[in-house]
Chains A and B, each alone.
Chain A
């Protein structure tokens, strides 16, 4: 019950204005790479560290599921919005994302391999589409 309350509290205070991609990345950033545990001081002080960890884990899984349900077009739109929100140049952003593939460490630990594989694959296609928007080929320009 506490976990549900904590998750609801966190959704209301921190996640309400974010799309699934922003939430996925934001929540993944709260996870310790070495332990897989989630930390958030504010939430832990209102509930407890364990409850906060469970609640954040629930929110992370939820964001992952929502992102899986998005069409490719929606994913591209979300990536475009995320890219704009980082204030990085689109070219640098795309180079970094293609090289580092940061989305690979953004999925919840216990995700099914097929779902994770599907999402990684969609990110790869979305990046190619974004790149084509950035550097339209002559044929596309004339079209």
Chain B
């Protein structure tokens, strides 16, 4: 599968995403510079983590105006697959390609740690290599990952299966202490109504090698790549 990894000024996990996709998973991946206006034939666009434009204003608030984002929006509107991790998720929300918003962690501080996530919907292009209820171990590292959306919208999202990942404990149970940032309904990842745009705060690209602490992130990338074959 051909992947395009967008590099905004201030992107940080762009190199890690390239490494995970190309070096570890053997996928075809290239960097898309934010000033470009075409996606170079990418079949899946990945918006990586980082602090685009420093995120001094509001996370993702400026990156959504980068030239490439017009092409990404058009690509998504045409049904193309788009995944945003961490800052990429924040940008997708700011660009209204995904519902909701991400605000400061409940603790008001940055959190870097491995968390457990339960797959809530395995019938999406991003999770088809998993089973509903599977528990994945992925790292998070963010200061603004508290997911919020209006109660009505949350209810509809749940009904439509748009909540894809939820923070849980190692046994797959939803508990207060297993929700690291205080997200509403412990939401860690959501899709749009068409299920072709997916955003998540955890970093699957940082969980593809056993030496670095785990390989559960591969399941996300395998789901996406597998669907294309």
Q: Do A and B bind each other?
A: no
